[in-house]
Amino acid sequence: MSEKQKGILVVVSGFSGVGKGTIMKKLLNDYKEDYALSVSATTRSPRAGEIHGQSYFFVSKEKFEDMIKENELIEYAQYVGNYYGTPKEYVFEQLDAGKSVILEIEIQGALKIKEQFPSTKLLFITAPSAQELKKRLENRGTETEDVINFRMKRAVEESEEIEKYDYLICNEEIDKAVSKVHSIIQNCRFNNLDEIKQDLIINNLENINQMRSDLKNFSKGE
Which pLDDT belongs to residue 4?
45
Which pLDDT belongs to residue 204?
97
Which pLDDT belongs to residue 210?
94
Domain boundaries of the chain, sorted by first residue = 9-38+99-219
Average pLDDT over residues 116-128: 95
Which pLDDT belongs to residue 5?
73
CA angle, residues 90, 112, 104, in degrees to nearest 5: 50
Distance of CA 62 to the CA centre of its chain: 25
Examine the pLDDT at 221 and tell me if it is beyond 80. Answer: no
Which pLDDT belongs to residue 190?
93
Rounded-to-integer distance, Cα 28 and Cα 35, Å: 6
| CATH code linked to domain 9-38+99-219 | 3.40.50.300
7 known ligand binder: no
15 known ligand binder: yes
**CA neighbor of 39 nearest in space, from 114, 111, 98, 93:** 93
Examine the pLDDT at 3 and tell me if it is beyond 70. Answer: no
Please check whether residue 169 is in contact with residue 158, taking contact to mean a CB–CB distance below 8 angstroms.
no
Element holding 137 (H helix, E strand): helix 130-140
Q: What DSSP line would sit under 45-82, residue for residue?
A: PPPTT--BTTTBEE--HHHHHHHHHTT-EEEEEEETTE
Examine the pLDDT at 205 and tell me if it is beyond 90. Answer: yes
Average pLDDT over residues 195-207: 97
20 known ligand binder: yes
19 known ligand binder: yes
Examine the pLDDT at 64 and tell me if it is beyond 90. Answer: yes
Q: What is the pTM of this model?
A: 0.84
Which pLDDT belongs to residue 42?
95
150 known ligand binder: no
**CA neighbor of 155 nearest in space, from 171, 133, 135, 174:** 133
Which pLDDT belongs to residue 86?
87
98 known ligand binder: no
Sheet holding 35-37: strands in order across?
35-37, 100-104, 9-14, 121-126, 167-170
Which pLDDT belongs to residue 222?
56
Please check whether residue 208 is in contact with residue 159, taking contact to mean a CB–CB distance below 8 angstroms.
yes
21 known ligand binder: yes
